[in-house]
Amino acid sequence: MRLPSILRTGVFQLTMVYMALFGASVAALFIFTYWSTIGSIERQSDSVIEAEIRGLAEQYERRGLPGLVEIIRERVRRDTQGRSVYLFVDSSLRPIAGNMAYWPQELNRSSGLVSFFKINADGVQIPARARVLTVGQGYRLMVGREINELALINQDFRRALVWGIGLTMGLALAGGILMSLQAQRRIARLNRTTRQIIAGDLSRRVPTTGGRDEFEELTQNVNAMLDQIENLMAGLRHVGDSIAHDLRGPLTRLGNQLELLAAEAEPSREGLTMCAEQAEGLLATFNALLRISRVESGAYRSAFAELDLSGIVSDICELYHAAAEDERITFSSEIEPSIAVFGDRELLAQALTNLLDNAIKYTPQGGSIVVRLIQEADSACLEVADNGPGVPAKDRERVFERFARLDQSRSLPGNGLGLALVKAVAEQHGGTLEVADNSPGLIVSLKLPSKQP
C-alpha cells in the first residue's frame, strides 16, 4: 500500500491544491480564448444577419412585396456557396421565395437571433442562425446563415479544453507524486536518524546532499543542533564524572575513619568531631554544586530587580576588610557610587564573596587586594585584583570549570567551585567573567550590563 501513505504526505496535499488551482486557471484561459476568438466570429456573423435584415426591411419600404421577393431570389441566386439562408413565407407559412424548403418551428419562439438545425434535402442537419422580419399582413421573412464551420471549430475547441485540462491535471498529479515521493524519502532519512538518536546513538547525523534548498538547510540545522546537544551532554558527563571523582576521595576517607572509630572500644571525641567536620565539608560541596546548577537553571531570574551594586560591593568589602587585614593583606576598594544593575542581590553578593575568598586565600602576607567598581559605557565593571601567584595563561579558561583546581592550589582548602559559581552568576546576569594577569597576581573582572537585559 504505497499510495495511501503518499496521499497523506503534506507535500502531496499541497500538490493537490496546486493541481486544482492550475486546472482552474487553464480553464479560465480557455474560456477567455473562446470568448475572444470563436465568440467574436459568432458576434460578427450575427451582425451580418442584422445588417441584412435592416437592408431588406429598407427595400421592402421602397419597393413593396414584389420587390422584396425579387431581391431575395437575386440573393439566393448570387449565393453560390449556399451559406446564406433565406425564406419568405405567407401567413400560413407557405414558402414564397428562398433557399429553404420549410419554416423551422424554432423561429416562432423568439423575435431575436435563434440557433437551429437546418435539415437539407438529403437529410443532413446543418447548424444555422437566423432572425425573422415580419412584413405586411402576416408575411414573414427569415434571414440566416449556416454556421456549421463555426460549430466544428467550437467542437474542436471544447475537445481541446477537455484534453488540455485533463493533461494538465494528469501532469500535476504525476509531478505531485514524484515530488512527494522525493520529499518523503528525504524526510524519512531525517526521521530514521532522529529515531536512532532517540534510541541513544547521539553520534548519528542526517546525511547531507550538498544542495542548497530548504531541506538541506533543515538537515544542516538539525545536525548543528545535534552537535550542540552532544557537546552539552559531554559537558554534563564531564561534570558528573568530576563530581563523582572529586567526592569519592573525601567520602572514602570519611568511611575509613568511621570504620576505625567503630573498631575502637571507646571512640575518641576528637575523631568523631573530625568526621562530623568532614561530612559538613562534603555537604558544603554538594550545596555549592546545587547552587551552581540552580543559578544555571535560571530559577533566580524571575526575581531579578534593579539593584544598587555600589551598595552591595561596599557591604561585602566592609565584611571582608577585617578578614584580609587579619591575614596582613592590604585591602582597599575604589567604588563609584550609585551604579545600578538588574539582578539578584544575594547572588551578586555571593559572587563577590567567592572572589574575595579566593583572593584572600591566594594572596601572601604583605600582599594587597584591590576591589574596584567602575561604570563603563554600557556595563558595570567589578574587578578584584590581588598580587598572589596568579593563574598561568594556559589555565585561564579552565579556572571556571567545576572542581578546576590548579596544581599549585591542591594543598589549600577549597572545593574548586567558587569561580564556577561566579561564572554562572555572571552568565545569568547577561554579563561576562574574565581573568587576566595583574603581573604579579590575578585580576578577575566581572562585567554586568547596566540596563535590564
Partner 1 sequence: MRILIIEDDKDVASFIQSGLQQSGWNVDHADNGKDGLFLAATESYDALVVDRMLPAVDGLTVIRTLRASGIQTPVLVLSALGEVDDRVAGLKAGGDDYLVKPFAFSELSARLEALLRRSGEHGSTQATTVLNVADLKMDLLRRDVSRAATKIDLQPREFQLLEFLMRHAGQVVTRTMLLEGVWDYHFDPQTNVIDVHISRLRAKIDRDFDVPLLHTVRGVGYKLGGDTN
- Distance in angstroms (rounded) separating the CA atoms of residues 37 and 34: 5
- Asked if residues 355 and 318 have their Cβ atoms less than 8 Å apart, the reply is no
**Which C-beta is closer to partner 1: that of 54 or that of 294?**
294
What are 138's three cell numbers? 402576416
Three-class DSSP category at 212: coil
Beta carbon of residue 235, minimum distance to partner 1 (angstroms, whole number): 20
What are 233's three cell numbers? 551532554
- φ, ψ of residue 131 to 5 degrees: the values are -135, 155
**Which C-beta is closer to partner 1: that of 230 or that of 357?**
357
**Which C-beta is closer to partner 1: that of 204 or that of 361?**
361
Beta carbon of residue 203, minimum distance to partner 1 (angstroms, whole number): 32
DSSP string, 215-249: HHHHHHHHHHHHHHHHHHHHHHHHHHHHHHHHHHH
- Asked if residues 372 and 333 have their Cβ atoms less than 8 Å apart, the reply is yes
Beta carbon of residue 298, minimum distance to partner 1 (angstroms, whole number): 12
Beta carbon of residue 357, minimum distance to partner 1 (angstroms, whole number): 5
- Distance in angstroms (rounded) separating the CA atoms of residues 327 and 357: 12
Beta carbon of residue 392, minimum distance to partner 1 (angstroms, whole number): 24
**Which C-beta is closer to partner 1: that of 17 or that of 284?**
284
**Which C-beta is closer to partner 1: that of 167 or that of 272?**
272
**Which C-beta is closer to partner 1: that of 216 or that of 357?**
357
**Which C-beta is closer to partner 1: that of 30 or that of 342?**
342
- Asked if residues 336 and 431 have their Cβ atoms less than 8 Å apart, the reply is no
- Asked if residues 257 and 251 have their Cβ atoms less than 8 Å apart, the reply is no
Residue type, 46: D
- Asked if residues 301 and 428 have their Cβ atoms less than 8 Å apart, the reply is yes
**Which C-beta is closer to partner 1: that of 29 or that of 303?**
303
- Distance in angstroms (rounded) separating the CA atoms of residues 341 and 352: 14
In the sheet that 125-135 helps form, which strands lie side by side, from edge to edge? 95-98, 84-89, 139-146, 125-135, 114-119
Beta carbon of residue 402, minimum distance to partner 1 (angstroms, whole number): 16
- Distance in angstroms (rounded) separating the CA atoms of residues 178 and 169: 14
- Asked if residues 285 and 413 have their Cβ atoms less than 8 Å apart, the reply is no
**Which C-beta is closer to partner 1: that of 68 or that of 316?**
316
Beta carbon of residue 227, minimum distance to partner 1 (angstroms, whole number): 30
**Which C-beta is closer to partner 1: that of 345 or that of 405?**
345
Q: What is the contact surface with partner 1 in residues (CB under 8 A)?
A: 273, 276-277, 280, 283-284, 286-287, 290-291, 293-294, 299, 303, 315-316, 318-320, 322-323, 326, 345-346, 349-350, 353-354, 357, 360-361, 418
Residue type, 99: N
- Distance in angstroms (rounded) separating the CA atoms of residues 55 and 67: 13
Beta carbon of residue 377, minimum distance to partner 1 (angstroms, whole number): 30
Residue type, 172: A
**Which C-beta is closer to partner 1: that of 145 or that of 291?**
291
**3-state per-residue secondary structure call for 162-192:** HHHHHHHHHHHHHHHHHHHHHHHHHHHHHHH
- Asked if residues 209 and 223 have their Cβ atoms less than 8 Å apart, the reply is no
Beta carbon of residue 334, minimum distance to partner 1 (angstroms, whole number): 20
Beta carbon of residue 348, minimum distance to partner 1 (angstroms, whole number): 10
DSSP letter at 9? S
- Distance in angstroms (rounded) separating the CA atoms of residues 102 and 108: 13
Beta carbon of residue 247, minimum distance to partner 1 (angstroms, whole number): 15
